[in-house]
Structure 1
Amino acid sequence: MNATPRVALITGGARRIGAAIARALHAAGYDLALHYRRSRAEAEALAAELERARPRSVLLLQAELAEFDRLPELVAHTVGRYGRLDALVNNASAFAPTPLGPTTPAQWDALFASNARAPFFLAQAAAPHLRAARGAIVNLADLYGERPLPRHTVYCMAKAALLMLTRSLALELAPEVRVNAVAPGAILWPEHGGDPAARQAMLQRTPLARTGAPEEVAEAVRWLLQDASYCTGQVLRLDGGRLLGA
C-alpha cells in the first residue's frame, strides 16, 4: 500500500455493482469518494464497513448528476478532502424503456444525463487532477451500446455515446491519463419486473451460460485502473461471450 493512498471518485457507488467496485478499490488501497443519489442508508452502511477497515478512507457525496453544477463540486470536494484524484469511475446509470411513440424529451434527458452528460463533465472537471497524478478513467458501458435492445433506443444511444466518449478522451487526455470502459452483459437482473423466460433465453445465448458477478466487474475496473498501464481507449466486454452469438 502506498504511503499516500491513491484516490478514486466513484459515481453510483452505494449499491449493486458500484458497491462491489468500491470494496475492490478500497481493498486495493484506494481512498474513496463515493457518490450516491438517493441510496443514503446503503451509502452510509458501506462507508461504515470500509471505515472499520481503514479509518478516514471514505468520503460520501450526495448529488443529482442531472444538475450540472454538482459535477465539478464532486471533484472539488474529493480533492479538497484528499488533496489529489487518481481515478474516476463513471458507474452511475439510469435504465428505462423508451418505446418509439410515447417516449418524451424528459425521458431522453434523464437517460443521457447519467449515461453520457455527467461522465463527460466529470471527466472535464477531473482532468487537471488526473493529469497531475497520471491517473485513469473507467466508464461503465453496456453491450447495448454496440447492439440495440428493443424498446430501449434512447438508453442504447446514451451508452453508445459513452463508448465514443471513452475513445475520444483517450486521445484528448493522453499520454498522462488512460481512459477505458467495461461493457458488462447480464450481471444483476433489474430489481423490478423482468420476464424469467426472457432471462433464460438470454443465458442460452451466452456461451458461458451464466450471469456474471458484480465482483468480476469490480476486478475488471481495478485492473484497468491499476495494472493496465499500456491500455487506453479500449472497451473490455464482460458479457460471457454474448456478443459472439447471432
Structure 2
Amino acid sequence: MDASPRPVALVTGAARRLGAAIARGLHAAGYDLALHYRSSASEARALAGELDAARPGSVLLLQADLAQFDRLPELVAHTVGRFGRLDALVNNASGFTPTPLGTATPAQWDALFASNARAPFFLAQAAAPHLAAARGAIVNLVDIHAQRPLRDHAVYCMAKAALVMATKALALELAPEVRVNAIAPGAILWPEAPASAQAGGDTDDARRAALLARTPLARTGTPAEIAEAVRWLLQGATYCTGEILRLDGGRLLEG
C-alpha cells in the first residue's frame, strides 16, 4: 500500500466530457486520482498520461462496468490499495437514453437505474469507512430533470430523482464524518448524437436556441464551472451537506 500524502478522489466516468473536466480540476487542486472508465479506454489513457506527466504517480486508471455489482467495492478497494486513503467520491458516470412511453423496456430501466442510482449508492456504501476516516465527502452529479421531467426520458428522470434522495439520505446516514452533496447541471454539454441522427441538425439547433431562450443567463454553462463546483463542495463547503447545487443558469426559474 502506497500511502498518499495528498487527498485522494475516486471519479467515475472520468475519461471524457464533464468527468475529464472534473478530474483535471481536482488534480490541479492537489488531489491524487483514481479515474474510472467503462469503454473509453483511449481517452482515459490519454487523460491519465496528461495528469501523470504533471505529477508522476498521481493517477490510477480503473476500468469497470458499473452495472456489474461486484466491481463497485473493487473500485474502492483498488483505490485505497494504491493510495492508502480515500478522501472524496465523485459519482459522475451516467447513462442517458430516451425511453418514450409505450416503448420503454425493463432492460432500459435496469441500465438507467444501474448507472444513475444503484452504482452511486453502493459505491458510497463501500467508500464510507474510508471517507469517514479521512473526514471526506461525496459529490453526486444529478440533473435539473430530476425535478423538472424531460419528455421521452421518464426512466432517466426517475433514476436521477432517486439519486437526489440518495444524496439526502446518505448525508443523514454518514454525518458528521462525511458530507454528501450533489450538483444538478442544466445545459452544459449537449448530448452526443449518433452519426445517423446528425441530419436533423436544424431541428437540434432550434431546440437548443429555444432552451437557451428559457435560460435567464442566456448561455450554456461550462465544464470548468462544474469542475470548480465539485472542488468547492469537496474542499470548501465544510458546513454544507444534503444540498443540491443547481448550476443551470436559472433554468428552473422559468415556467
Looking at structure 2, the residues matched to 96 and 185 of structure 1 have their Cα atoms a distance apart, in angstroms, of 17
Once the two structures are TM-superposed, the CA of residue 160 in structure 1 deviates from its matched residue by: 0.2
Mapping 1:81-120, distance limit 5 Å: 81-120=82-121
Q: Which runs of 5+ in 1 are unaligned?
A: none
TM-score, normalising length: structure 2: 0.95
The one-letter code matched in structure 1 to 2:132 is: R
Mapping 1:226-245, distance limit 5 Å: 226-245=235-254
Match in the other structure for 1:76: 77
The match for 1:201 among 181, 205, 210 is 210
Once the two structures are TM-superposed, the CA of residue 196 in structure 1 deviates from its matched residue by: 1.2
Match in the other structure for 2:132: 131
3-state SS of paired residue (2:101): coil
Instruction: Tell me the matched-pair count.
Output: 244
Once the two structures are TM-superposed, the CA of residue 143 in structure 1 deviates from its matched residue by: 0.1
The match for 1:223 among 216, 221, 232 is 232
Identity of aligned residues (%): 78
Looking at structure 2, the residues matched to 89 and 34 of structure 1 have their Cα atoms a distance apart, in angstroms, of 10
Mapping 1:29-40, distance limit 5 Å: 29-40=30-41
Looking at structure 2, the residues matched to 134 and 176 of structure 1 have their Cα atoms a distance apart, in angstroms, of 5
Give runs of ≥4 in structure 1 deviating > 4 Å: none
3-state SS of paired residue (1:8): strand
Q: Which runs of 5+ in 2 are unaligned?
A: none
3-state SS of paired residue (1:59): strand
Looking at structure 2, the residues matched to 216 and 168 of structure 1 have their Cα atoms a distance apart, in angstroms, of 26
Match in the other structure for 1:174: 175
CA-to-partner distance for each residue in 1:181-226, whole Å, 9 max, x for gaps?
Answer: 0000000001114711111100000000000000000000000000
3-state SS of paired residue (2:138): strand
3-state SS of paired residue (1:220): helix
Once the two structures are TM-superposed, the CA of residue 102 in structure 1 deviates from its matched residue by: 1.0
RMSD between aligned residues: 0.8
TM-score, normalising length: structure 1: 0.98
Match in the other structure for 1:26: 27
The one-letter code matched in structure 2 to 1:102 is: T
